[in-house]
Amino acid sequence: MTRTAVPSTALHRAAFPTCVSNALLVHWRCAIGTGRLTTPSMDIDQVVQIVLLVGLIVVGIEHWRRGQRGWRLAALAFVSLYGVGLVATMSAHCADIIHNLVLRNRSFVDGSPFTYNWRTYSLLLFGVLLIDRGIRVLRAARRFAGGDASARTDILRNGAVVLAITLPIIPIHAFFGVLISVWSSLALIVTAAGLRAGQVESTRFAAGAAGA
């Protein structure tokens, strides 16, 4: 009986759904093994993209109303978007894990039912840690826009913590690890260069003028 050889790429496509190249959460799900083998990715990826867009508009308007202009406005908008991105993507990450856990969907990695164990706990804890840092960055950006010079140090500290958490992920999942690490590095550079402590006094003056 003659056996027909099946290309390895065909086997891969049959076993694993194709990941959307521009969706962060889909790539992350393929790496951690959440999601279902027989259904397409959830609409949660589109929700994350919408939240990022709306978040950028909202923080931009808020900082502008607080009197921020020019490069300082751009720097605060970028740092705030970084915080929004951490909160949005990691909230979706946790929601996706809980969704698959409740429905006992099968893992992309080994096809086993998704159960609550040390692995799922670690993934949820990872998401919660980054959500917390994202919220801290957002709060610090608002404080800096309001004239609090110490908020710059908080942004730098939280960005450095995120970088320390995500750098070791690169050998495990290069896409996610590199993306968040580069984003964190850019946030640190923008904060260090664009949000200098000496700008706080001018920020207060501009905010007072805008309020008047």
Whether pLDDT at 194 is above 90: no
Q: Using the structure block, give the residue that is written with the tokens 């908080």.
A: 154
Residue with tokens 């984003």: 183
In our burial notation (b when 16+ CB lie closer than 10 A, e otherwise), range 64-90 reads: eebbbeeebbebbbbbbbbbbbbbbbb
C-alpha distances out from residue 10 to 19, 41, 64, 104, 107, Å:
15, 20, 52, 27, 20
Q: What value does the mean pLDDT take over residues 183-210?
A: 71
Distance CA 136, CA 49 (A): 21
pLDDT digit string, tens, across residues 44-99: 778 888 888 898 888 888 888 888 888 889 999 999 999 999 999 999 999 989 98
pLDDT digits (tens, 9 = 90+) for 137-181: 999 999 998 889 889 999 999 999 999 999 999 998 899 999 999
Instruction: Provide the total of helices (H) and of strands (E) in the chain, helices listed first.
Output: 8, 0
Alpha-carbon Rg for the chain in angstroms = 21
Q: Where are the domains of the chain?
A: 44-196
